[in-house]
């Protein structure tokens, strides 16, 4: 498909290429402002953002509650070192433990998902064991430790040797997991749904089986909820879904699957950088003074942003909204015969196309005013703001057949 880059965007690309490292390739757009789930580029074109900064902008852009919280905190107390504590830091840790609903727990606050996973990786080493069993198709970050836990060869190979003793097994395969975990395993690391791989959903009861296997060998169960947590699936944490345990539960209630470690980031700050590693029970005491740290982790402004996100999700009943709107989107996307499968929960949605046309579909969607992600050659991922409106969802579903027509050809 042809590149119809407008003048201001083209100029922005040139400036970007001249001064920023080429770690991401040429930017698709130069964005200048946003409101709710809508963004505008340098040439004034409007788009509905169905990727949400890759599951980050939980409240969209410019939400008054987030703007007020950040502004007030920055005007009050912007940063202190971790030689001191602040109210927002303590309150956020308390709130995360409460929402997790797994009993006593302690929190390490970081700046990103990768950093949260780095903290968790170091925490597992404090067990006296080194092996971590991880799923194929996983993505846990780009820093050296997190990268060692990420299975994609293209990401890993240029930076090997990576921190070792990591074993990869097929995602969703209980027998393979049971065969890999031994009495020298420190932790099992899993995503409740694999986002980077195109929103892959494991079989029912998979996490419960992982919990059982971990217990049999004295290993920790570590759940990476960086992409799936904080309301993304219509629950505070994706592992709270009854499908993971075979037991009934509620949107806000705890799952019978109780992890030892949970990592979160992305949507937690609604666009403000923050991550968290939560250690449940004894795991919360494994890191001690001198074992880990962060200059900016627990920054009061970032914590105030996260508290505003959590309060707004609750006040605006966004868990229910996400659940209902997610069903609408999945049903509408699946109605086209050029879509062979739709997966996900809430507003984390992945779909498979009948041919390897995902890049063309993403381009056609952009030309139609919608931002989506081509996760793999056949897979599209959607992770819009939790505040996406029903009207925007309806408009996208109405445009969806035309987007596929342009990218894949009209159906017969």
The CATH number of the domain holding residue 215 is 3.40.640.10
CATH number, domain of 332, equals 3.90.1150.10
Is there a domain that residue 67 lies in? no
What phi, psi does 47 have (nearest 5°)? Answer: -135, 150
Given the residues 41, 237, 260, 266, the one annotated as active site:
266
At residue 17, what are phi and psi to the nearest 5 degrees?
Answer: -65, -30
358 and 261 share one domain = no
**CA 288, CA 364: separation in Å to the nearest integer?**
51
Per-residue pLDDT at 212: 97
3-state SS of 112-163 is CHHHHHHHHHHHHHCCCCCEEEEECCCCCCCCHHHHHCCCCHHHHHHHCCCC
Whether residue 255 has pLDDT greater than 90 = no
Residue 266 is among the residues annotated as catalytic for this protein: yes
Instruction: Exactly one of 108, 121, 139, 272 is catalytic; name it.
Output: 139
pLDDT digits (tens, 9 = 90+) for 195-227: 999 999 999 999 999 999 999 999 999 999 999
User: Is 152 a known active-site residue?
Assistant: no
Of 219, 215, 281, 208, whose CA–CA distance to 243 is shortest? 208
Mark whether 18 and 92 lie in a shared domain: no
The pLDDT value given to residue 256: 74
Q: Three-state SS string across the chain, please?
A: CCCCCCHHHHHHHHHHHHHCCCCCCCCCCCEEEEEECEEEECCCCEEEECCHHHHCCCCCECCHHHHHHHHHHHHHCCCCCCCCCCHHHHHHHHHHHHHHCCCCEEEEEECCHHHHHHHHHHHHHCCCCCEEEEECCCCCCCCHHHHHCCCCHHHHHHHCCCCCCEEEECCCCHHHHHHHCCCCEEEEEECCCECCCCCECCCCCHHHHHHHHHHHHCCEEEEECCCCCCCCCCCCCHHHCHHHCCCCCCCCCCCCCCCCEEEECHHHHCCCCCEEEEEEHHHHHCCCCCCCCCCCCCCHHHHHHHHHHHHHHHHCCHHHHHHHHHHHHHHHHHCCCCEEEEEEECCEEEEEECCCCHHHHHHHHHHCCEECEEEECCEEEECCCCCCCHHHHHHHHHHHHHHHHHHHCCCC
Q: Do 349 and 364 share a structural domain?
A: yes
Query: Do 240 and 342 reside in the same domain of the chain?
Result: no
Question: Is 235 part of any domain?
Answer: yes
Instruction: Based on the fold, state whether residues 266 and 132 are members of the same structural domain.
Output: yes
Range of the domain at 189: 77-315
Query: For the segment 132-142, what is each residue's pLDDT rounded down to a tens digit?
Result: 999 999 999 99
Q: What average pLDDT does the chain have?
A: 94
Residue 139: active-site member: yes
Each residue's pLDDT tens digit, 136-174: 999 999 999 999 999 999 999 999 999 989 999 999 999
Q: Is residue 260 part of a domain?
A: yes
Q: Is 1 a domain residue?
A: no
Do the domain assignments include residue 166? yes
Q: Are residues 309 and 263 both part of a single domain?
A: yes
Last residue of a domain, one of 257, 289, 315: 315
Structural domain count, the chain: 2
The better pLDDT of the pair 253, 161 is held by: 161
pTM: 0.94
Residue 69 lies in a domain: no
Checking if the pLDDT of 247 tops 80, the result is: no
Among candidate residues 49, 224, 336, 360, the one labeled active-site is: 224
């Amino acid at each position: 498909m042809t590149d119809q880059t407008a003048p201001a965007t083209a100029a922005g690309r040139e400036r970007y290429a001249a001064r920023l490292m080429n770690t991401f390739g040429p930017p698709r757009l130069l964005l200048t402002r946003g409101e709710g789930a809508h963004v505008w580029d340098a040439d004034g074109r409007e788009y509905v953002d169905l990727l949400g900064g890759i599951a980050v902008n939980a409240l969209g852009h410019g939400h008054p509650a987030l703007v007020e919280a950040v502004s007030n905190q920055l005007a009050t107390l912007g940063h202190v070192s971790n030689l001191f504590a602040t109210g927002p830091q303590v309150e956020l840790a308390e709130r995360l433990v409460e929402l997790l609903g797994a009993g006593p727990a302690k929190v390490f606050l970081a700046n990103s998902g990768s950093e949260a996973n780095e903290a968790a990786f170091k925490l597992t080493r404090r067990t006296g064991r080194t092996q971590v069993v991880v799923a194929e198709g996983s993505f846990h970050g780009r820093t050296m430790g997190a990268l060692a836990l990420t299975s994609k060869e293209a990401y890993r190979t240029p930076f090997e040797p990576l921190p070792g003793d990591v074993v990869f097994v097929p995602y969703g395969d209980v027998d393979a997991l049971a065969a890999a975990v031994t009495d020298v395993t420190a932790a099992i690391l899993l995503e409740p749904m694999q986002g980077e791989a195109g929103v892959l959903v494991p079989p029912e009861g998979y996490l419960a089986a992982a919990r059982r296997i971990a217990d049999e060998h004295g290993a920790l169960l570590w759940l990476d909820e960086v992409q799936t947590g904080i309301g993304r699936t219509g629950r505070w944490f994706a592992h709270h879904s009854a499908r993971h345990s075979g037991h009934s539960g509620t949107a806000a209630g705890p799952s019978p699957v109780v992890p030892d470690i949970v990592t979160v980031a992305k949507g937690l700050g609604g666009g403000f950088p923050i991550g968290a590693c939560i250690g449940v029970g004894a795991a919360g005491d494994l890191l001690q003074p001198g074992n880990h740290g962060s200059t900016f982790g627990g920054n009061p402004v970032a914590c105030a942003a996260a508290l505003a996100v959590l309060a707004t999700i609750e006040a605006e009943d966004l868990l229910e909204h996400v659940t209902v709107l997610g069903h609408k989107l999945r049903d509408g996307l699946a109605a086209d015969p050029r879509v062979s499968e739709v997966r996900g929960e809430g507003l984390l949605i992945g779909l498979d196309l009948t041919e390897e046309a995902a890049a063309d579909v993403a381009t056609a969607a952009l030309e139609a005013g919608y931002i989506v992600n081509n996760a793999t050659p056949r897979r599209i991922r959607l992770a819009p703001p939790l505040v996406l409106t029903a009207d925007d969802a309806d408009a996208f579903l109405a445009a969806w057949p035309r987007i596929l027509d342009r990218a894949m050809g009209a159906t017969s």
